[in-house]
Structure formats: C-alpha cells, structure tokens
C-alpha cells in the first residue's frame, strides 16, 4: 500500500471533504503543483480551478475551488477556500446557464465562477 497523506478540504462555512489521499494536484498562482506524501512543508496561494485528489483506494475526487490556500505540513494537507464544492455536487445545467448569463451581462467574476465549476465537472 502506498503512503498516504491526510487531506482536509474546507470552505468558509463547512468542511467539504476529508480523507486519505496519495496525490493531490492543485493550481497555485505560480503553476500547477502536485503534493504526495512526505512533501516539504508548503504554503501557497491557490488560483480558482479544479483540484484533483487521488484517494487511498484509487478513486479520484475532483473539487472546484474558488481561490484560497494550500498548506501542507506533517503529512497533513489543508485546502482552504471561501467557496469549494465537489464536482459531484455541481449542477451542470445550472452552471451552464450561469455561464451564459454571466457572458451576456459581462460579469467577469460570475463567468469565472461558472467556468471553474464546468472545468471541474469536465475533469471529473
């Protein structure tokens, strides 16, 4: 069995996902970063985007993260985000509608949010 690290994915108002993982890939402001067990202690700023978590039992969990931080120490990884949701929780039709609406309203922030959700679903 491969070494595992403990992952906590928390949003501002709830804990979204927690469990053991073998690999976590997230996008920081200076590029994608992959964290495996035993990584050097790390603290980084996340970009909005999908985060991929490969769990201990071989499944893949994808979450849409809207900004936030990644911190890793003592084999514990925390992903902090104001808004975070699992790909399985995302309502694709609603996100698509939101994207259309944001494009027509030229609402940059809303467009980015919808886009991140759809990307997370696509990766999933």
Partner 1 sequence: MGAQLRVYKRRIQAVTATKKITKAMEMIAASRIVKAQRKVTASMPYATELTRAVTAVATGSTTKHPLTTEADAPARAAVLLLTSDRGLAGGYSSNAIKAAERLRERLAAEGKEVDTYIVGRKGVAYYGFRERKVAESWTGFTDSPEYGDAKKIAAPLIESITKDTAEGGVDELHIVYTEFVSMMTQNAVDGRMLPLSLDQVVEESGAKDEILPLFDFEPSAEDVLDALLPRYVESRIYNALLQAAASEHAARRRAMKSATDNAGDLIKSLSRLANAARQAEITQEISEIVGGAGALADASAGSDK
Q: Where do contacts with partner 1 occur on this chain (CB under 8 A)? A: 8, 10-15, 28-30, 33, 40-45, 68-71, 73-74, 78, 80, 82
Handedness of CA 53, 12, 18, 42 (dihedral sign): positive
Q: Is 74 left (phi over 0), alpha (psi -120 to 50) or beta?
A: left
Give the nearer residue to partner 1 in terms of CB position, either 80 or 124.
Answer: 80
Least distance to partner 1 from the beta carbon of 12, Å?
Answer: 4
Give the nearer residue to partner 1 in terms of CB position, either 38 or 58.
Answer: 38
Least distance to partner 1 from the beta carbon of 121, Å?
Answer: 23
Asked whether 105 and 34 are in contact (CB, 8 A), the reply is: no
Give the nearer residue to partner 1 in terms of CB position, either 40 or 104.
Answer: 40
32: burial class by Cβ within 10 Å (0-12, 13-18, 19+)?
Answer: exposed
């Amino acid at each position: 069995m491969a070494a595992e690290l403990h992952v906590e994915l928390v949003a501002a108002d709830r804990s979204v996902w927690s469990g053991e993982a073998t690999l976590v890939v997230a996008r920081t402001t200076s590029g994608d970063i992959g964290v495996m067990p035993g990584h050097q202690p790390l603290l980084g700023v996340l970009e909005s985007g999908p985060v991929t978590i490969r769990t201990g039992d071989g499944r893949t969990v994808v979450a849409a993260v809207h900004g936030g931080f990644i911190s890793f120490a003592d084999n514990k990884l925390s992903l902090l985000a104001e808004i975070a949701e699992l790909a399985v929780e995302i309502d694709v039709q609603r996100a698509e509608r939101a994207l259309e609406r944001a494009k027509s309203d030229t609402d940059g922030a809303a467009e980015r949010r919808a886009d991140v959700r759809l990307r997370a679903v696509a990766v999933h």
